[in-house]
Structure 1
């Protein structure tokens, strides 16, 4: 009789096990790498609003000081998904890494003046020609600000090879200017505003106005092999970021979006209240990647011409 009761109990438990809700299933663990810019806002919002969790994703956000190191961390599997700039991603692919785009972060906008050329007080730098022979810090060699600034120099008739670029993370910019280690930095808010508010430097150019609208500033990438093995999780990640982007586009959510940004890039409310937030662009297209390929080819940054049709996860 005991054996029969045990068997019946086991059979009775089967339907319950089969009908377990999605949230009771094991979550897919994803370590996501980000840098200290508002272009990651949709990921921050997705984390804070539970958009990842409701899709059975256990996403750990990990701060990475230098953007150009993200592809190597993704390749080493210390990050499953990371947010390099498009140029950093394309250089890594050109170098042989088999990575693909899962989703997008921020995009360019003519209304955004949240980054630019910040010169040391007293340096006399006012325009592109004044940069010739100067030492300029950028938050990642080959990353978004470096590549777009070089593109701007060219539009102003300046050979970017005549400028000495050095790599320096955003938090270092103010100290480097104060100590005279660099003549200027290509920086972004909130670090740019802190520099100007302190009197250490001034904005010589909001050069970003030369960029076309709606070009990705940050893209979220993973190893092709990881995406193949975790196709559902990759799609769920993109869907969560899309939901967060829709949340961001509602003005009533502005305070919540800024609070999420402040939490992950460790800034006080009074600073967060003033910074500009890049518009979200959760879906990356082949046309957008082609723009970056052409910009980089023009600067001799790529040995090959990447096939953009193969670089976006479906």
Structure 2
């Protein structure tokens, strides 16, 4: 639900290599399928989904908001960085990730741009960082040398963890001693209770069920740190936008309207629609988790992107010494295609 942000890693080098690969693919005409030379715009968009979940784009398609655009599912992903890498290399036509991952990939030369927010944090949709009720851990300083279970390195969960540690006064060297540890989300609670990690980052149904079972205590959450905010965006390649301006506008318009539909309908109506979508697409998925859906957590009207949703992570990456190149907000995102852009004059 951020190319990865890794402690003392070669993530930026990987991002740069990916960017070069993508640029080569585009230059050689490979991957995207977005231009046939006939002048006709592409209307079938390839994407990756998530097991047992309905993305805003999938909701938009089901509601009929995408017009002539059809979505072609090519598989599932559990990682935002992997999802936007697939878009960068032309394996998909759109993908989504934490804004921090998008910043790093674009800074490394990836020819992509954010066009609409697709997930965020609010009072109902948030990630809590939990310890066993009897754990001696009660502060940020207690996390030095401890293992924190996250779904992937360098994404939303690690960035929020670092933001919490920094806000609580830990030095850069002390923060490096806190150990984010990759654990599959469905196993995170069990891994915590078994003592294999010291802190578990949990959200959604996994958080709710863990709390229902009891014996856990929340140390902090991303909502407590930042309040309501959009955390991740959908990206398109720059060449796709240039070759397919009408498709781009229709796609963003439809997703924006679907986001607003999800905000204005009663929760049980939205959940029922999600269940129907999951049933119709026939991917042999368990629908149990979707019953616990509460919101996408998106702050801006219709997924409209706001400056601070990128500047916060630019500052974060720069402070860590992981952003060597200056990036302009205009290189990172645009609200040009969002029907709700007039609300900010973007």
Length-normalised TM-score, structure 2? 0.71
User: What SS does the corresponding residue of 2:121 show, helix, strand or coil?
Assistant: coil
State whether structure 2 residue 305 is matched by structure 1 residue 291.
no
Q: State the Cα distance separating 1:239 from its structure 2 match.
A: 0.2
1:142 corresponding residue in structure 2: 154
Identify the residue that residue 268 of structure 1 maps to in structure 2. 288
Give the deviation of 1:256 after TM superposition.
Answer: 2.8
Note if 1:304 corresponds to 2:325: yes
* Counterparts in 2 of 1:203 and 1:266: CA distance versus 1, 3 Å: farther
User: Which whole-Å deviations, capped at 9, do the CAs of 1:124-157 have from their partners, x for residues lacking one?
Assistant: 3333222111011212222122112210111112
SS in 2 for 1:136: strand
**For residues 36 and 273 of structure 1, what CA distance do their matches in structure 2 show?**
14
Superposition RMSD in Å = 2.9
Aligned to 2:192: 177
Return closer, same or farther for 1:257/1:235 CA change in 2, 3 Å cut-off: same
Asked whether the 8 Å contact 1:106–1:217 carries over to 2, the reply is yes
Asked whether the equivalents of residues 177 and 201 of structure 1 are also in contact (C-alpha less than 8 Å), the reply is no
Q: Report deviation, 1:297.
A: 1.8
1:223 aligned onto 2:237: yes
Shift of 1:244: 0.8
Q: Closer, same or farther in 2 for the Cα pair 1:89/1:204, shift >3 Å?
A: same
Alignment of 1:48-197 (within 5 A): 48-52=62-66, 55-61=67-73, 62-109=75-122, 111-112=123-124, 114-120=126-132, 122-158=134-170, 159-197=174-212
- State TM-score, norm by structure 1: 0.78
Question: Could you say which residue in structure 2 is the equivalent of 1:5?
Answer: none
Deviates more, 1:282-291 or 1:26-35: 26-35
Q: Secondary structure at the match of 2:196?
A: coil
| Distance 1:171-1:79 versus aligned 2 partners, 3 A rule | farther
Q: Where do 5+ consecutive residues of structure 2 fail to align?
A: 1-39, 279-284, 337-346
Does the 8 A contact of 1:127 with 1:204 survive in 2?
yes
Q: Which moved more, 1:204-213 or 1:161-170?
A: 204-213
Shift of 1:94: 2.2
* Corresponding residue SS for 1:105: strand
SS at match of 1:217: strand
Q: Flag the structure with larger Rg.
A: 1
1:166, distance to aligned residue in structure 2 (A): 1.9
Q: Give the SS at the match of 1:107.
A: strand
Distance 1:175 1:231, change over 3 A: farther
